[in-house]
Structure formats: C-alpha cells, structure tokens
Structure 1
C-alpha cells in the first residue's frame, strides 16, 4: 500500500501497437490517473521484459503494470521491478517460471489463430535472420477483433506489428504474480487466446477475475471503459 498515486503503465501485445490503448488512456486520464503506454518491441520475451522493466524503473513512485495478450508474459517478468504494486492482465497470458507460452497454451484446446498466421523473415544482426508472425488481414477482424467495427478492424489489421516467433518457446525466469496483487480480465469471446488459458492463469495467481461476456481479444479497443474500470480498481487498491 502506498500513499502516492500510482502511474499506470500499459504494455500492448502482439499484432498491435500502443495506439490500441487510446480509448483506455482517454478513460484513465479523464479520471485523473497518470498513464504511460510503452512501445513493446515484440522481439523476444527476455528482451521485451528488460526494455519494459527499464522504463518502469525510471518512473518515480509506484506503478500498476498492465499487459494485453502476449504482454501478459512481459509484465509477468518485468513486474518484479521494485516499484510495481499491482498487475492487470487484459485477455493475457500469465505463465509460471519455466513455462513457455507454447506449453501454457498446450494445456487447452487451440484457437483458430494458429491457422491464420503469416510468417516473415527479419534481420537480427550478424547476417542472421529470424521468423516473425502476423495475422492474415482477411482473418484479423474475425479472429482478433470480432466486436469491433469492420472499418476499425481493417485499420488494426493494416497497422499490426509482427511478433517474433521465438516468444512461444522462450520461458520466463520469474513470475511477478506470485508477489504482486493481480487482476485478470477474461474476454469471453476471445478467438486469439482461449479464455480457458486466461482463467487458468487467474486462478493460479489468486487474481481478482472479471469476465466480459461477448468481448473479443481486442477488448481494450471495443470496451475501453470496462478495461479502465478494472485498472482503476487496481490503482485504488494500491493507493
């Protein structure tokens, strides 16, 4: 518990960028909450978590750390920074130490996402290349943003940022949810991450769980007020 008002740090997931938080940011700012949306590199779990952790460490005062989708794994690692006082998982993974996202997903039936991924090659230095993934534009609305207008879904598909394929085999070395209070929002109609995966992580973490019936994976875009309410609850608890 801190007397200072926490800063909310938002971390976007795969196939998105920080603009995916626009509606949530507006809701939080109008409520007087200090908020920062960082650019998640999407290059690898350890590297992404180290980058986010470095940003958090340079913020004065307590931080409530929020992750969507793949960024749940990122905040699970980065959330061990000393000034993090709460974690919010938005339709997100919450892996344990030594548990890759692939291993976590394999506990439950797969979603349709895997059948609609495109593979790209990208340079990683030294003449080497790596594989990155994006969602096929024609399937993006159905799989990721089913409760978003078709026009907005097309924009989201066109602006998506690919994710390094290696993140699905890379395992976290720590799990911040073991020592930080956590909140988990489950998007009931999520077709990118099986909602059972999210519920499992919430139960294991002893998190406060909020179910949003009919919400797609893009719940931060389609239901920003609902997402902001969960974040404000975490902020209020940390004050």
Structure 2
C-alpha cells in the first residue's frame, strides 16, 4: 500500500454534546504530533453534519483519520467516503449499514434505567434529561464537568436519528471501534453487534459513554494505531 503518512485527525462529536468535550483527546493527539480538527456539528440533520465534516476534511487538505463519537458514528459512516478519509474510528458510536438508521440500532436493546434521552419537543429537537445526564451519559467524569457538558449540548433534531445511510463508508475503508463497557446511552451489546457485523477491529474500554473524556489516552492510541496502519508501506 502507498505510504500515506497520515498525521491528520478529524473528530466528530455526537448528540447531547459539542466539540469542547474533545479537549483531552485533542491534547493527547497533538502532543504526539498529530494535526487535529474538531467538527462542530450543527445537529440539524444527517446531511448538515456530513457537510460540516466534509468542510473540515477539505480544509485539512490531506489524508486523515475520521473519528466519531455516538451519533458522530452515523455521520462518519456517511461522510467517510470522502477521498481524504484514510480510516474510520468509532468511539462508542453508531455504525449503521447502507439503508439503516441510528435509531434502528438504538431500538435493538431496551434502554438502561439511567438513559435520559427525552422524546422530541414541539420543534422536533431531542435533549437529554438534566437529572439523568451525569449517570446516563458521562458517569466517569466529575459532576462539575458533567454540568458544563449538559449546558453546552447542541440542539439535536430527531430526524437525524431516522435518516438512513446512503453508502456505508466502513464497507470501503478500514474501521476501528471502541466499546464503552459501562455505557448507559448506547448499550455495549449494540456496539459489539454493530462492530462484529462490520468486522471492525475492536478495543473494549471500561468506562461510560464518554470514554474519550475519561480515558483519552486509550482512545488516542486506537486513533494512532489506525493512522500508523494505513501509513505502512
């Protein structure tokens, strides 16, 4: 394989969060020589989030590892067909196939009692319940940080959850996945089932839905492994 020397990483956040949660992971990657960009998803639709990701990929101007958390996994599955994407990394993330939506997978296992995803409001926006956010979304970070995350979550439009993937990029690009074994937002069994079906290279991490915050070194190492693997001659 051509030596790509991939040193670019694009990070794509999910619903009920924004790009600021990637700071610890950004720090881990940049201190190891990677050029990192964080996409700020509008969360208005799958198409809009894919467009925002494509803008970041074009701006970085070379081959990149595209990593997505949670809903961001659906985004990278669609956006990952961009020619600048060398490999995909799924961080406790949805990984639908062509014709599938994120919601289809979310419904395959009953939600955990701690899960606080609310029904869509009158505008079609889905939020995470405040009283369940810490336990259900980010139990292994401190309460003060969880409060900031809750306050800075984006307005996620529910139509994204039901939008089908048109061409699953993991069918064409190398894929790596991290299973968060204590996840109360996307059941770990859902993550395992998706990754198993796609023959994704899996790393299991004991942690909540936000392992990229609580254990950034482990997540960074998987991203670096993906970059080094595609950079091999």
TM-based fold match above 0.5: yes
1:1-239 pair list within 5 angstroms: 1-112=2-113, 115-117=116-118, 119-121=120-122, 130-213=123-206, 215-239=207-231
Comparing 29-38 with 67-76, greater Cα deviation is found at 29-38
The structure-2 alpha-carbon separation of the partners of 1:199 and 1:157, relative to structure 1 and needing over 3 Å to count, comes to: same
Q: Is the 8 A contact 1:118 1:136 kept in 2?
A: no
Q: Secondary structure at the match of 2:60?
A: coil
TM-score by length of 1: 0.91
Measured after TM superposition, the shift of residue 68 of structure 1 is 0.2
Q: Secondary structure at the match of 2:213?
A: helix
Two-structure CA RMSD over aligned residues (Å): 1.6
Gaps (5+ residues) in structure 1? 122-129
Q: Secondary structure at the match of 1:58?
A: helix
Q: Which has the higher strand share?
A: 1
Q: Distance in 2 between matches of 1:173 and 1:117?
A: 27
Q: Distance in 2 between matches of 1:119 and 1:73?
A: 19
Q: Is the 8 A contact 2:12 2:68 kept in 1?
A: yes
Gaps (5+ residues) in structure 2? none
Q: Is the 8 A contact 1:118 1:135 kept in 2?
A: no
TM-score by length of 2: 0.93
